Amino acid sequence: MIGRRRFLLAAGSGGVAAAAAVVDSGRAAPAASPPVYASVEPRALVFPRDAGAHPDYRTEWWYLTGRLDAPARSAQPPIGVQLTFFRIRTAVDPANPSRFAAHQLIVAHAALADPRRGALLHEERIARTGFGLASASTRDTAVDVDGWRLQRDGASGAYLGVVQGAQFTLELHAQPTQPRLLQGERGYSPKGFPDPGPGPRAASFYYSEPQLALQVRIRGDGEAIERSGRGWLDHEWSSTLLPPQTAGWDWAGFNLADGSALTVFRIRRGAQAGGDAPEFAYAALRAPDGPLQEFAAAQVRLEPLAYWTSPRTRARYPVAQRLHIGGRVFETRPLMDDQELDARAGSGVVYWEGASALLEDGRAVGAGYLELTGYAGKVMGGS
């Protein structure tokens, strides 16, 4: 689902105005009045249009993760890979005609989780749209910033990703092997129970592309690596993503070895609203040749199994968890403990984004990513 999300939510208020000011070197004028963002209301998703950008909404991301298998008969470990592009509609007045006004920002993160290093290798970029610096197509997935790009081929459906970083370069090909997975109510994904008060319900439009066949080339640290594996892409957009009383979320997307796809998340309350108790929860399990099973909040429970404390931020993350989903029980195990994405020097985001194994009855049944936000600071609710 959603860490991609912490930066976007924080940026939804004052953070984005600050980011716009940095990008525009002081040229961007602040909004004269609060901007009016498009609201999320149930509707049918239409493709390829909805694979593209939705600039009237506050936040949006294309989030691609994967596990790259070790070569056959090799003692090398698997590697986790993450490539995420964010589109952010800022608080700059839409009526501001200046070509320098940062109405839309594009942010990109790329990270490698290699146990041989013991910590994430991370790169990021940020720029406003226009001037050839960044763009996000509204017709199909085609987003770029400062030479980085993620683009979908309309004929094959494959995603092509390119990262040109200072520490590493990445070339990625992700081929769908299954139909899109529309999360929630056919792509309308509630993030809380209906609120009788004023304002829109916290929700997003959300679909996934699980079981992507990955081919990835990585260059860095004096070596070139070519590996294959399985990946997962989430595309999500919203203007009011979380209820204001929430503190963050735990999210997981796993590709199972039998071809199934598992999504699960819980949204945690803030301390004043009940601490770490879940505000909302959701899970979906789709067999490769079967219907989508969705589970109500009462059927979903996440139980921490092991914690890791960051030596940099002192945040304490539940990096291994037991997932109770309907009548089944899974457990996650991190590829390595230190998978904290610490970008405070750049976009300001801090969260744990971990390549993980999935176990059931003590045996490995899949692999994917576990995301933990709000542990290194409050996540804005987006209201």
Q: HEC profile for 303-335?
A: EEEEEEECCCCCCEEEEEEEEEECCEEEEEEEC
pLDDT of 195 reads 67
Nearest to 300 by CA among 262, 269, 337: 262
8 Å CB contact between 101 and 29: yes
Nearest to 211 by CA among 177, 164, 248, 171: 177
pLDDT of 216 reads 98
Domain that holds residue 229: 4-26+49-372
Residue 377, domain member (yes or no): no
Please say whether the dihedral angle defined by the alpha carbons of residues 86, 87, 92 and 98, taken in this order, is positive or negative: positive
Helix (H) or strand (E) holding 263: strand 261-269
Nearest to 1 by CA among 143, 184, 138, 180: 184
Residue 316, domain member (yes or no): yes
φ, ψ for residue 298 (rounded to 5)? -70, -15
Residue 34, domain member (yes or no): no
8 Å CB contact between 172 and 219: no
pLDDT of 14 reads 37
Considering its fold, how many domains does the chain have in total? 1
Distance of CA 255 to the CA centre of its chain: 16
φ, ψ for residue 182 (rounded to 5)? -85, 115
Instruction: Report the C-alpha gap between 244 and 109 in whole angstroms.
Output: 26
Whole-Å CA distances, 74 to 96, 135, 214, 223, 342: 57, 41, 19, 16, 31
8 Å CB contact between 174 and 213: yes
Helix (H) or strand (E) holding 86: strand 79-89
pLDDT of 32 reads 54
Residue 77, domain member (yes or no): yes
Nearest to 16 by CA among 28, 2, 3, 4: 28
pLDDT of 113 reads 97
φ, ψ for residue 23 (rounded to 5)? -65, -40
Instruction: Report the C-alpha gap between 145 and 123 in whole angstroms.
Output: 13
Residue 39, domain member (yes or no): no
Residue 9, domain member (yes or no): yes
8 Å CB contact between 249 and 204: no
Residue 33, domain member (yes or no): no
**pLDDT in tens for each of the 383 residues of the chain?**
544 444 444 444 334 333 444 344 444 445 456 678 999 999 999 999 999 999 999 999 999 999 999 988 888 999 999 999 999 998 876 767 676 677 899 999 999 999 999 999 999 999 999 888 999 999 999 999 999 999 999 999 999 999 999 999 999 999 999 999 999 999 999 988 776 566 678 899 999 999 999 999 999 988 899 999 999 999 999 998 787 778 889 999 999 999 999 999 999 987 554 455 678 999 999 999 878 999 999 999 999 999 999 999 999 999 999 999 999 999 999 999 999 998 887 677 889 999 999 999 999 999 999 999 999 876 544 43
The CATH number of the domain where 192 resides is what?
A: 2.40.370.10
Residue 35, domain member (yes or no): no
Contacting residues for 287 by C-beta, under 8 A, at least 6 apart: 258, 259, 260
Instruction: Report the C-alpha gap between 373 and 245 in whole angstroms.
Output: 15
